Structure 1
């Protein structure tokens, strides 16, 4: 059966794709980060140093970036819907395997964590392009998807904390794993019924998407995404260290007030809440911007503006007092949340549909590959100077460089409403 433009089945198909991809986005972000919380309880249970147990995740972190490219190839070869099923099944089984490892078996735990890294790498290579191809309003769809991803980041500490409190560290692995398996089974059923499928990227009126334009866009974005990846990771891993010192007085006052009510709290709780606020606000902002800005204004202008404003966000983190530094971190995350969907839409439009998986895989190899650079810079600058002010001052220059390089992108287009029909996947 062919689905015609305007057919209710067209909208229903796009909505189902958005639901499954967004759930996958949340689960992927939560499950590739929650070990950092689980390891604290695991260290007590296994009587091993937390630092040693945390090192077990290093190979998984490498796979999370490296496997993006083969995952993208598999998406192009076998189809995004099927590869999303593989992702859910792989993440679920790997997480359950983590929860079932014998006590003290660090090798088995490391291998199971590698499974989480491997299958977590599938999401961005597969799910992002899948949404853009099937969405009628691309900016809005990316905003919704980004909101779910931010929810996953915000929950990575809460979900395992609750499960450990109610049951054990094993439950913190097993329960999310079971949720993944259930979602994957439902998606497989919907694919089999022909209710969820895929389609080639709809043509954008007036867009020239030849080989020359593809290399121009991909070359520019390779530079800007790598630089943006350094800034993103620097804020993610460095903001808490900034808040720990610059918000120390305010945190002490809040702790004293809460203690007067009979509740004793640790400073790390309030630092963690301040850090979580960054991603809660950025997730909401990404949804709002997708709905009100990305779908309405030229992509290049929006991207250049967001990059230029990063300069001020880095200055606030470098030189501001506690609350100004917090505002700078939130602003940086919001601006990154605006830039990401634009990069995704441009890659989807200028990359032939049959190579979407490889295109997005290459993007996330570049973006995620920049994270270790930021982590090493944080460690080196803090050890050398005792603060992160020089790091964020240096990143103002990097933000300015992103802005200048982004000016080389082709301009004049915007994210627009797509009316092309969606073709359902054949029943199997």
Structure 2
């Protein structure tokens, strides 16, 4: 039998790797443009197929996780994403770059439906705490991607920014194969739902989740992709060094990590609605203020944006974990991430188009308006009642 904490630790590391791998290009593209003879706005859309695969692939991977083996799927994740990151570092043409990034997105699609479901099934009654900690690891992956990629691109060249993490991921995958074995968790104390609403109100949970996921995921992806370039344009009075910009970006994301841990604890103490609503109203005004901000003011406002974005991600994941049973939880997460990441995939091309036609002033205003949907989602979400926990049963 697997030790729950061992499984959770590896799943948390996988979350770090997943977000790290998906955002290397967002930081490296700034220095890759001259190599391929293409401006930022023309090269950035080559990431779009990868982000679409990131979302669309989650349907199949979630189904395989429930029907076959979550452990085996995670082995494929570690080894596949490691090899594909190395492949990006070896490309010679823009077409090869687009194909390699697509493959990264395809393997990255495994983590969220499969890894999150696996983490929830091994968690104790403090689901919010575990979701929050898991979110911190993902956020640290986002932060480290900007930091390490900026430093590696400046010191070693952009190719090594992909190759080195690819090699490290393969090593972690081999360790996971040795430490974690296939195990069915159906029937454990975490397998049942931990919250409920009246049958007539369940449509409001689904509608609130879908509306919020579309708005928050699209904005999340747009901001994380655009942030290195936004800082490069707007922090010129502070620095123009890619490595220093990476440090600033990473520090901003640390606040998001702390927020996810805090939100996870609040979810265990209060209803989802009580946590959901304050977060939903924060992004619209913050994004609007950021549209015209620069230097220190922009950094401060961006910290608020990142805190609200990552806090909302924790709420979204906890919502699925609380309302679904273990035997189909991976499929529930796959639908959640399919909707979210497919919408987010479109944000890459949208950022490039908006930036070309109106710079980041137009880009941030558009996403500010989109975040009004999150307020609608919070208004739709019904009051929550706690469900009684099922009696523990042995694993199959």
Q: Give TM-score, length-normalised by structure 2.
A: 0.83
Other-structure match for 1:115: 103
By how many angstroms is 1:231 displaced?
A: 2.6
Alpha carbons 1:310, 1:332 under 8 Å: kept? yes
Other-structure match for 2:381: 409
Cα distance between partner residues in 2 of 1:307 and 1:316: 16
By how many angstroms is 1:96 displaced?
A: 3.6
Alpha carbons 1:191, 1:197 under 8 Å: kept? no
Other-structure match for 1:19: 9
By how many angstroms is 1:145 displaced?
A: 1.1
The answer to which of 76-85 and 233-242 deviates more is 233-242
Describe the shift of the 1:166–1:318 C-alpha distance in structure 2 as closer, same or farther (beyond 3 A).
closer
By how many angstroms is 1:227 displaced?
A: 1.3
Cα distance between partner residues in 1 of 2:226 and 2:48: 19
What's the C-alpha RMSD, in Å, of the aligned pairs?
A: 3.5
Segments of 5+ residues of structure 1 without an aligned counterpart are 2-11, 256-265
Other-structure match for 2:204: 216
Give CA-to-partner distance per residue, 1:37-92, whole Å, 9 cap, x none: 55677677xx5325577665443232122111111111111132221112112112
Describe the shift of the 1:32–1:415 C-alpha distance in structure 2 as closer, same or farther (beyond 3 A).
farther
Give CA-to-partner distance per residue, 1:231-279, whole Å, 9 cap, x none: 3234334445655565444x2xxx5xxxxxxxxxx35555444333321
Decide which of 56, 71, 77 is 1:81's aligned counterpart. 71
Give CA-to-partner distance per residue, 1:88-132, whole Å, 9 cap, x none: 12112323444566xx36655544433211111111111112212
Describe the shift of the 1:382–1:93 C-alpha distance in structure 2 as closer, same or farther (beyond 3 A).
closer
Decide which of 279, 286, 290 is 2:264's aligned counterpart. 290
Cα distance between partner residues in 2 of 1:329 and 1:282: 10
Q: Which has the larger radius of gyration?
A: 1
The 5 Å alignment of 1:122-137 reads 122-136=110-124, 137=126
Describe the shift of the 1:26–1:318 C-alpha distance in structure 2 as closer, same or farther (beyond 3 A).
same
Decide which of 165, 172, 178 is 1:183's aligned counterpart. 172
Cα distance between partner residues in 2 of 1:170 and 1:383: 27
Give CA-to-partner distance per residue, 1:127-158, whole Å, 9 cap, x none: 11221222111111112111111111122244
The answer to which of 341-350 and 107-116 deviates more is 107-116
Describe the shift of the 1:344–1:420 C-alpha distance in structure 2 as closer, same or farther (beyond 3 A).
farther
Alpha carbons 1:43, 1:53 under 8 Å: kept? yes
Alpha carbons 2:193, 2:325 under 8 Å: kept? no
The answer to which of 270-279 and 115-124 deviates more is 270-279
Decide which of 35, 49, 71 is 1:59's aligned counterpart. 49
Other-structure match for 2:127: 138
Other-structure match for 1:5: none
Task: Give SS of 1:198's match.
Answer: coil
Task: Give SS of 1:34's match.
Answer: helix
By how many angstroms is 1:223 displaced?
A: 0.9
Decide which of 299, 309, 315 is 1:342's aligned counterpart. 315
Other-structure match for 1:258: none
Q: Give TM-score, length-normalised by structure 1.
A: 0.77
Give CA-to-partner distance per residue, 1:275-297, whole Å, 9 cap, x none: 33321211122123323x22211
By how many angstroms is 1:186 displaced?
A: 2.5
The answer to which of 179-188 and 326-335 deviates more is 179-188
Cα distance between partner residues in 2 of 1:32 and 1:66: 15
Cα distance between partner residues in 2 of 1:74 and 1:13: 23
Decide which of 303, 318, 326 is 2:276's aligned counterpart. 303
By how many angstroms is 1:305 displaced?
A: 1.2
Answering whether residue 137 of structure 2 is matched by residue 148 of structure 1, we say yes
Corresponding residue pairs, total: 391
Segments of 5+ residues of structure 2 without an aligned counterpart are none
Alpha carbons 1:33, 1:156 under 8 Å: kept? yes
Other-structure match for 1:259: none
Describe the shift of the 1:411–1:377 C-alpha distance in structure 2 as closer, same or farther (beyond 3 A).
same
Describe the shift of the 1:414–1:159 C-alpha distance in structure 2 as closer, same or farther (beyond 3 A).
farther
Other-structure match for 1:371: 344
